[in-house]
Each structure stands twice: as C-alpha cells, then as structure tokens.
C-alpha cells in the first residue's frame, strides 16, 4: 500500500489536473459562442449559393455544361477530403469524422476504385497515416481559427487535381454542428457539384431571367467559388463542434477528477486511521509489558 505522503502527493496532482480541466472547460465555453455564431452566419450564404447553382443547373445540359457540375462521366478515381481540428482533448470528435471517412474509403476500395486523400487538420493527418499514408496527396493545417485563405488553398489543390484528370469524384467529410451535445459526421460531394434536393427556388413572379453572360459562363465562375465556400463552411462547423466536444470532455474530466479526489481522500483517511490504531496498540502493549 502507498504511504500517506505518496497519497497526499497524488491527491495534490489530481487537484492540479482538475484546475486545468476546469479552466479548459470555461475557455471552450467562451470560444464556443463565437464559433457557433460564425458557423450559423455562414449557413445562409452556402444555402443561397446552392439555390443559385440549382437554378442555373436546370438550364444547362449537353457538352457545354461545366465539368465541375456534371463530372467527367467516370466514377473510378475518388478524392476524399477529411477536415478535422488541429488539436485534441475533445473526446471522440476527430475520431468520429475520420471513422466515417475510413468507412467510405473502405467501401470504395472494395469496389475497386482508386482513392486519394487530402487531410485538413493535423488530427486527420495523424490518424490517416497509419493505414493510408501512401494515399495522402495533401496535408493542410487549420491553425488557430478557420481562414478563407486555407480554404482557398484546399480548393485550389482539388481543382488542380481535377483539371489534371487525376480525380473524377471529390467528397468532403466534416462534422456538422447541431447542438452543444450533438455533432454529426457528414459527407458532402463537391465534384460533380451536388444539387441539393429541396434547395429554395427563386420566385420570379411570372417573369423570366435572361442571363448575361449565359448560364455556362456563370457556372464556370461560380462553381470553383462554391467549392471554396463549402470547405470554409465545413471548417467553421468543425470549429463549433470541436469547442462543444471539448467543453463536454473537460466537464467530464473535471467530474472524474473530483470523484478520484474523494476516493483517494477516503483511502488516505483509512490508512491514517489504521496507522494511528497500530501505534496506539504498540503503546498499550509496551505499557503492559512494563
């Protein structure tokens, strides 16, 4: 059994850890408000862009349609973009995103598809290196906060590979923020552009649009921007989900530390009582011997 000094040192260590987890919980809660506001502010823009693309795509067909909209006509070569955070200590937040992506990758490989991977975030890179290091073609770090510059770099890499004929289908995996306790790993197809079912339509009130330039030219400009927007929106959703998950994880860690302190204190008190009882018995036995 550990000595009383060792038990006191261990209790002090757990108390110090509890202070750290409590502080991290409070910091995550403060940052969550800003991250949640940023993620929710980006959603209307992404939704409206999906509506515009859906309306433009309805009038485009044939060989003139942009490749980013209709694809290459093949589904053999896949690029999977996995967005996580750079940091951990957030429970299973990052692992759930990577797990969903791994299941998709495993399905594609069983079907005989060629798969390449881009990791956005250090945690995605670290977890994917173990099984898919040879398939990693790009790694990007998110940094302290999501930035449009990083999203543009990722989007540029995707378009470069697509235009070079290296990929046919591009899918983005991230965690969609739903509430403080719920973050949903989500896969979203970027290329060919996914026409969202039920996207809000534009009420023309009986009139008609005449596009200048034509729909194909507008889409050719809008679709690359849509890829950047979807990636940036995913990064914002990830940030909100990360802080929510971290706040929950640190709250659980703080509670567990409290339980451990109570348990260790009880053990220490019992050991101290046993030691006192033993010393009293020794004193009484010595007195009787005299």
pTM for this model (two decimals): 0.81
Q: Domain range holding 128?
A: 38-246
The rounded Cα 57 to chain-centroid distance in angstroms is 30
Whole-angstrom distance between the N-terminal and C-terminal Cα of the chain? 32
**Is residue 27 one of the residues assigned to a domain?**
no
**Is residue 31 one of the residues assigned to a domain?**
no
Same domain, 242 and 255: no
Per-residue pLDDT at 143 exceeds 60: yes
Arithmetic mean of pLDDT, 173-183 = 88
Same domain, 190 and 281: no
pLDDT of residue 15: 92
Tens digits of residue pLDDT in 184-235: 899 988 888 776 655 555 555 655 566 566 667 777 778 888 889 889 999 9
Task: Tell me the C-alpha distance between 184 and 190, whole Å.
Answer: 18
Same domain, 137 and 270: no
Name the domain boundary from 214, 231, 246: 246
Q: Look up residue 280 and give its two tokens.
A: 């009293």
The residue with greater pLDDT, 283 or 183, is 183
- The residue among 176, 168, 192, 160 whose CA lies nearest residue 241 is 176
- What is the CATH classification number for the domain harbouring 152? 3.40.1380.10
């Amino acid at each position: 059994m550990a000595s009383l000094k060792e038990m006191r040192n261990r209790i002090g260590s757990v108390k110090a850890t509890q202070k750290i987890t409590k502080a991290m919980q409070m910091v995550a809660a403060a940052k969550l408000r800003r991250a949640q506001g940023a993620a929710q502010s980006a959603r209307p823009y992404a939704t409206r862009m999906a509506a515009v693309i859906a309306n433009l795509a309805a009038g485009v067909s044939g060989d003139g349609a942009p490749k980013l909209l209709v694809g290459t006509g093949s589904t053999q070569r896949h690029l999977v973009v996995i967005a996580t955070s750079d940091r951990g200590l957030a429970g299973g937040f990052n692992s759930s995103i990577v797990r969903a992506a791994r299941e998709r990758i495993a399905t594609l490989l069983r079907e005989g598809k060629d798969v390449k991977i881009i990791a956005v975030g250090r945690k995605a890179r670290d977890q994917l290196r173990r099984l898919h290091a040879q398939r990693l073609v790009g790694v990007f770090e998110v940094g302290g906060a999501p930035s449009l510059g990083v999203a543009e770099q990722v989007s540029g890499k995707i378009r470069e590979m697509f235009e070079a004929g290296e990929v046919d289908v591009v899918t983005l995996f991230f965690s969609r923020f739903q509430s403080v306790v719920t973050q949903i790993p989500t896969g979203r197809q970027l290329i060919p552009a996914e026409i969202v079912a039920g996207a809000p339509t534009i009420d023309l009130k009986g009139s008609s649009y005449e596009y200048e330039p034509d729909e194909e030219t507008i889409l050719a400009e809008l679709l690359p921007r849509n890829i950047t927007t979807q990636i940036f929106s995913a990064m914002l959703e990830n940030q909100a989900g990360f802080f929510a998950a971290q706040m929950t994880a640190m709250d659980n860690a703080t509670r567990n530390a409290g339980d451990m302190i109570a348990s260790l204190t009880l053990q220490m008190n019992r050991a101290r009582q046993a030691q006192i009882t033993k010393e009293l018995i020794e004193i009484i036995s010595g007195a009787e011997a005299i």
